[in-house]
Amino acid sequence: MLLTPLPLTPDHDIPGPLLTELTALYASNHEFQALSGDFPNPDDIRPEQVAAALARELADPGVEVLLARSEGLLVGVVITLARHPDPADPDPWIGLLLVDASVHGRGHGRRIAEQVEERFRRAGRTAVRLAVLGANPKGLAFWTALGYEIVDHRPDLQLGRPCAVLRKPLGAPRRTPRRAARIAVVDPEGAVFLFRYDNVEVGVHWALPGGGLEAGESPREGALRELEEETGWTDLAPGPLLCTWEHDFTHTGTPVHQHEHVYVTRGPHREPTGPHLPAAHASDGILTWRWWTREDLRSAPEPVWPPELARLLDEHDEHDEHDDNRQGRSGFPSP
C-alpha cells in the first residue's frame, strides 16, 4: 500500500479524475456519513461538496490529507492534524480515516493507521490521538483493537457532537526479520537498472529489482521471480553473488529488518514490459525506473540501495576481467 499526500493543481484544486474517485469513496461509506452529518444528504454526496470539505480541512496549515492506494486503486483517505487547537494537548491527531466500503474487511484500515503512526513516529512524536463519535461503536471497536485507549469524553469542536477521545503511545517500532533477494542487471555499457521507491519510513530511494522471499524459496529463486514480476523480463537469470547487506524499513505497514542477497547478471538495455506492471509497481511503491551509469551512481542526489553500488559493480567488473584474461582468447586457461 502506498500513502501519499493529496495532490493539488496550481490553482489549489483537486484534479477532476481524483475528485471523482474521492467522491465515490466518501459516498460508499453511507452508514458513517448518515451518522456524522458532515454532508446535507448522505444519499447524494457530490464532488463539489467533497472538494469544499477537503478545502476547509486544508485551510489549517497543520492538516495533511493522505491518499491510500493498493494495486493502483484508491482504497482510503486519512486526514491528520499536527497539533490540536488546545495548547495543552501535545499530540498529533487523526481527524478522519475512511476506507472504500467495497474493500472493507481486507485490513486496509489497519495498514493505513499503522503507516500514519509510523509517519508520526519518524517525526519524533510520542503519541497520537483521535475522536470517535459516541454513536459509532464500530469505530470505537476498530481503534481500541489497534491499541488506542479512551482518555476523555467531550464534544467535538465543529458540531458539538459527543465523542470519546482516544490516545495511543508511539514507542520504538519492533522489527520483523525479513529475507529478500535482488538482481543488478548490467547492460553492455556497464549501466545498471534501478527502480525509484517511496517508503513511509525511509523516504525516496533507488533500489534494484527484487523483494521478499516466499516460504521455502531460495534467494536465487526469489530474485528471479521478483525480476520477472517487476520487469517482465523472462530471459535473464541470477549470476554470481554481488553482496549481502541488512537494513531497516517499513514494508506494508510493518517495520522490518531485511537481509538481502544481491546478485548480478548481464542483460540488454531495455524498458520493463507487460500489462501487469502498473499494478505491481503501484502495490510495491515503485515510482519510476531508469538505467544508471557508474558516474550517475557516484553522484546520485537520492539514496541508492545497496550503498556503494558503483564500487561493488566496479570490483565485480575487475574480477570478471581478471578471469577472462586467465582464460585467454580461446576460452581455455592461459599457460
| Domain covering 2-169 in this structure, CATH number | 3.40.630.30
Express each pLDDT in 23-72 by its tens digit.
Answer: 999 999 999 999 888 999 999 999 999 999 999 999 999 999 999 998 78
Q: What is the pLDDT of residue 157?
A: 77
**Over residues 200-210, mean pLDDT:** 92
Task: Report whether the peptide linkage leading into residue 240 is cis, meaning its omega lies within 30 degrees of zero.
Answer: no
What's the grid cell of residue 328? 585467454
Q: What is the pLDDT of residue 98?
A: 96
* 17 vs 147: CA distance, rounded Å: 36
pTM of the model: 0.55
Residues of the chain with CATH 3.90.79.10: 176-327
Q: What is the pLDDT of residue 325?
A: 54
SS3 at position 224: helix
Calculate the average pLDDT of the chain: 90
The percentage of the chain sitting over the pLDDT mark of 70, rounded to a whole number, equals 94
Q: What is the pLDDT of residue 173?
A: 64
Residue 247 has pLDDT above 50, yes or no: yes
Q: What is the pLDDT of residue 104?
A: 92
What's the grid cell of residue 132? 470517535
The bridge status of strand 127-133 relative to strand 93-99 is parallel
Alpha helices in the chain (DSSP H): 16-28, 30-36, 47-58, 108-122, 137-145, 219-231, 277-284, 294-298, 309-327
Fold of the CATH domain 176-327: Nucleoside Triphosphate Pyrophosphohydrolase (3.90.79)
pLDDT band at 323 (very low <50, low <70, confident <90, very high): low
Residue 88 has pLDDT above 90, yes or no: no
Residue 153: its H or E element: strand 149-155
